[in-house]
């Protein structure tokens, strides 16, 4: 920078006075704009769909010596390399095909450079955003029908999807019409809702044997616009098969144990009857032998000899009859009780086989359980006077072997006369 100063010497006038001129102020030269820059760039540009952009960029230099260029430009955006004019037509087909997206910031690199001096250039950025007043709403769409019918004990599992619109759904809230447990809620799109329905969901007081559960999935986008999808689930009363099977198994174990007790009681009664029968048979054989012996002696004794033994022995046989009844009376009660026990055992075994389950989900499990319970109760009432004894360590196989012994069966088997 050059600064000029003007010096004026003082002189003595004819009047003898000294006049001094003031010093001149320094003159500053005008600075020239030597740095290349873009003078009218807007750093943020928004365009509507189907609109047209025509925007001329200016620099502080002679534009004839410079050229323009773009980097990372979205499809359709162009610039005239000679005069710096930006042109763009935001056609809707670009957005329908997915080449451009709404509400997305596109960072575009813009540059201008001297044709003669490569070092003289400007690089900058601007943001381009497209918007559309025709907003397509995003929807929450479960992968099942809006109405479901399920049973207690089932498990519901379905996916909650989203139909994308202008502004995608960012979060989902799960609301139920009544408190439920053991369920997996949905928080984002394409997540699964899962719920294991308990067997006690329907209470005993519900006369309809059915309850309605309403599940609402509320989707929200970044502008807090909401869309709600509702799924109505009708839960029907169902049989708690695990519990009922366990109840049935316990009842069959009780019946089998009661059968073993009856078989042991039958064994004791049968042995008592058998012992009495053997004793009475012994008395009968003795009486018969005495009477027959007296007859033989009387007929074979020599003539004229005293036949005392032949006269006494028949009387001995007759005298043994009251002794037999006194020592070993007929066990009619035990015999009848043993027969009744055997009949009850056969009936219970038949009932167990007739009411056996066809599988873990036998639809007739309740009637079969009730029949077994009634049969057991009826048998216990009929045999209430017969004491139930412990099996005294006898195994089930030993009791079954005795009960099914052919000799024992022969005594209680009905035969043709």
**Is residue 35 domain-resident?**
no
In the prediction, which pLDDT does 297 show? Answer: 54
pLDDT digits (tens, 9 = 90+) for 227-238: 999 999 999 988
Give yes or no: residues 69 and 166 share one domain: no
Per-residue CA distances from 61 to 19, 43, 67, 121, 252 (Å):
51, 20, 12, 11, 105
Instruction: Please provide the DSSP assignment of 269-323 as one string.
Output: HHHHHHHHHHHHHHHHHHHHHHHHHHHHHHHHSPTTS--HHHHHHHHHHHHHHHH
**Is residue 32 domain-resident?**
no
Q: What is the CATH classification number for the domain harbouring 155?
A: 2.60.40.10
Contact 77, 128 (CB under 8 A): yes
Q: How many domains does the chain have?
A: 3
Q: 366, 399, 156: which is closest to 264 by C-alpha?
A: 399
In the prediction, which pLDDT does 388 show? Answer: 67
In the prediction, which pLDDT does 382 show? Answer: 83
Give yes or no: residues 189 and 332 share one domain: no
In the prediction, which pLDDT does 117 show? Answer: 86
pLDDT digits (tens, 9 = 90+) for 276-334: 555 545 545 555 565 555 555 555 555 554 545 545 555 555 554 554 444 444 455 56
For residues 293 and 408, give the distance between their C-alpha atoms in angstroms, rounded to a whole number. 35
Can you point out the beta strands (E) in 31-144?
A: 44-48, 52-56, 66-71, 78-79, 85-89, 106-114, 121-131, 139-142
CA atoms within 13 A on the CB side of 210: 9
**Is residue 417 domain-resident?**
no
Contact 123, 110 (CB under 8 A): yes
Give yes or no: residues 196 and 329 share one domain: no
Q: Which residues of the chain have pLDDT under 50?
A: 1-19, 30, 280, 283, 305, 307, 310, 320, 323-330, 417
CA torsion angle 354 356 361 365 (round to 10):
60
Using only C-alpha atoms, the chain has a radius of gyration, in whole angstroms, of: 58
Contact 255, 348 (CB under 8 A): yes
Q: Which helix (H) or strand (E) holds 194?
A: strand 191-196
**Is residue 74 domain-resident?**
yes
**Is residue 17 domain-resident?**
no
**Is residue 217 domain-resident?**
yes
Contact 169, 138 (CB under 8 A): yes
Instruction: Please provide the DSSP assignment of 219-261 as one string.
Output: EE-TT--EEEEEEEEEEEP---HHHHHHHHHHHHHHHHHHHHH
In the prediction, which pLDDT does 327 show? Answer: 44
In the prediction, which pLDDT does 337 show? Answer: 74
Q: Which residue segment(s) compose the domain that 197 sits in? A: 139-238
């Amino acid at each position: 920078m050059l600064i000029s100063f003007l010096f004026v010497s003082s002189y003595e006038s004819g009047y003898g006075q000294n006049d001094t001129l003031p010093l001149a102020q320094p003159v500053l030269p005008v600075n020239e704009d030597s740095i290349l820059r873009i003078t009218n760039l807007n750093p943020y540009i928004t365009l509507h769909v189907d609109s047209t952009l025509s925007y001329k960029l200016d620099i502080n230099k002679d534009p004839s010596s410079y050229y323009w260029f773009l980097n990372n430009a979205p499809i359709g955006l162009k610039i005239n390399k000679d005069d710096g004019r930006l042109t763009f037509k935001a056609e809707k087909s670009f957005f329908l095909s997915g080449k451009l997206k709404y509400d997305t910031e596109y960072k575009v690199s813009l540059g201008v450079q001297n044709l003669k001096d490569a070092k003289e250039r400007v690089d900058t950025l601007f943001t381009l955003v497209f918007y559309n007043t025709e907003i397509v709403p995003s929807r929450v769409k479960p992968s099942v029908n809006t109405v479901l019918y399920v049973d207690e004990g089932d498990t519901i599992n379905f996916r909650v999807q989203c139909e994308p619109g202008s502004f995608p759904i960012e979060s989902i809230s799960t609301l139920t019409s009544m408190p439920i447990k053991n369920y997996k809620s949905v928080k984002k799109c394409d997540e699964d809702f899962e719920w294991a329905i308990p067997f006690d969901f329907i209470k005993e007081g519900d006369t309809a044997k059915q309850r309605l559960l309403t599940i609402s999935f509320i989707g929200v986008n970044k502008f807090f616009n909401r869309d709600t999808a509702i799924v109505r689930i009708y839960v029907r009363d169902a049989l708690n098969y695990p519990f009922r099977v366990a109840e049935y198994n316990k009842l069959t174990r009780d019946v089998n144990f009661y059968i073993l007790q009856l078989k042991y009681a039958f064994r004791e009664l049968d042995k008592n009857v058998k012992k009495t029968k053997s004793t009475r048979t012994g008395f009968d054989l003795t009486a018969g032998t005495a009477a027959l012996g007296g007859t033989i002696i009387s007929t074979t004794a020599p003539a004229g000899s005293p036949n005392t033994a032949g006269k006494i022995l028949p009387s001995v046989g007759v005298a043994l009859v009251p002794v037999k009844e006194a020592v070993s009376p007929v066990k009619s009660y035990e015999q009848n009780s043993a027969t009744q026990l055997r009949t009850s055992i056969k009936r219970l075994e038949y009932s167990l086989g007739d009411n056996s389950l066809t599988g873990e989900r036998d639809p007739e499990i309740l009637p079969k359980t009730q029949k077994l319970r009634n049969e057991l109760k009826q048998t216990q009432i009929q045999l209430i006077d017969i004491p139930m004894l412990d099996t005294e360590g006898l195994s089930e196989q030993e009791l079954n072997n005795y009960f099914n012994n052919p000799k024992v069966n022969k005594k209680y088997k009905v035969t043709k006369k």
